[in-house]
Amino acid sequence: MAAARLYQRKWVLIKLPIALAAVALASWLWSTWLPLPPAEITVSAGRADGVYHAYAQRYAEKFAARGVTLRVLESDGSVQNLQRLRGAVEPTADLAFVQGGVGAAVVAQEGGMRLLTVSKIDIEPLWIFARQPGIEALQQLQGLRISLGPAGSGTRQLGLALLEQVRLKQGEYTDATLAGMAAVDALKQGTLDVLILVAAPDSAVIRAALASPAIHLVQLRRTAALTERLPWLVPRLLAQGTLGPQLPPRDVTLLTTSASLVARADLHPALQRLATDVVTEVHTGGGPFHRPGEFPSLKRLQFPASEEARRTLTHGLPWLEAHLPFWWAQVVLRLLVICLPVALVALWLARIVPAYLRWLLESRVTRWYGELMYIEHDLSRESLTGLDLSKYLDRLNSIERRMEAFVTPTYLMPRWFMLRKHIDFVRMGLFRRRGR
């Protein structure tokens, strides 16, 4: 009997396969449904002397403290950062800093991208520095030598958009390729007339430009039309002395945009939460253009907000990640949602399948006892013919043949022997009735 053979070797034929299947199922779920996050990710920052690169270095320290390696890539700016996120250029990136207004232009040129905003992190002013004093409108830049930044930068995208609004076309000005401190030095030496760039106020380039008496900070007049057509630009006041003694030398209103940390949509959810937590630690304080607590933020975004980031900003990290080291939290989560349920189901099956087989075996012996009791009951009648006695004897022989083919488990042996004795007892009774 198959059930009896299975029950006899239940550890090898039932419990061991169940255990192996449970391990295989848990491993499959662990690797496909809820895989561990990668131990190393990449962020595309900016130029080595820029604030994006400084932010990325601080992020790398925070990530390293949680056991994740954040590799920082230099770049020419936001356009190249977006291309790396999309995988359009090598090396690719998982996270990147993106300047406000750049995303829409790149999407329009290159198609849609599956990107998510982790958070807006800072306010970035649009700086226009000139050697010539008295410049108050973009139209006055006609015929001048202008630095708009490298080709992959958000500064160039924004600068071109501004010049386009006042119908200044390429050819009506000289497009210099200088950037950073080289552009500031060129302004001082007179080989460059205007420097347009988007950078944080504490950038070394901005401080050097503001500190030079030969360079003048331009304050544009009548910017309402610009902000209407370029809605990611917002005018904000930079008060005199905000950046240091006489930096800037007077109150000035600058057009500003925002900076965001953007992630690939396929970045592991745990790393999206971790990035949001790191952003919260780094950017909670105030700045020259915003109050403490204004950032990180998920308002007025270019790309859809990460749901993991939104939950983290609203409710904080999940309990495990908030109270355990990052990797321990990931392992414990998978132990609770994968290994524990699979183990409980496997344990239940390891108990219920042998119990079912045991019930089958016991019910078989019980049925034989029932047949024997039926025969004994009929034997109590007085009127039995020789044909009836032969029929009952054949039934007893049939029971015995089935019992001989039955692989009896050890725990059923006492009942099996008792049943054999009862069969012999009933058979003797049949022989006595036949001999009358």
Whole-Å CA distances, 348 to 6, 28, 310, 341: 17, 20, 39, 11
CA distance 121 to 282: 9
pLDDT tens track of the chain, all 436 residues? 577 777 777 888 888 999 999 999 999 999 999 999 999 999 999 888 788 888 999 999 999 999 999 999 999 888 889 889 988 788 889 999 998 888 655 554 555 558 999 999 989 898 899 988 888 888 888 888 998 888 777 888 888 888 888 888 888 888 887 878 888 888 888 889 899 988 888 788 888 888 888 888 888 888 888 888 888 888 988 888 777 777 777 888 888 988 999 999 999 999 999 999 999 999 988 888 888 888 898 988 888 999 999 999 999 999 999 999 999 999 999 999 999 999 999 999 999 988 888 888 778 878 877 877 877 777 766 566 777 778 878 888 887 787 777 776 777 778 777 877 877 777 887 777 665 5
Q: How many Cα atoms are found within 13 Å in the side-chain-facing hemisphere of 102? A: 28
Q: What is the pLDDT at residue 435?
A: 58
Q: Would you kindly state where each structural domain of the chain is located, as residue ranges?
A: 2-24+335-434, 34-317
Segment 367-425, tens digit of pLDDT: 877 877 877 777 766 566 777 778 878 888 887 787 777 776 777 778 777 877 877 77
CATH number for domain 34-317, candidates 3.40.190.10, 3.90.1150.10, 3.30.200.20, 3.40.50.720: 3.40.190.10
- pLDDT value for 108: 46
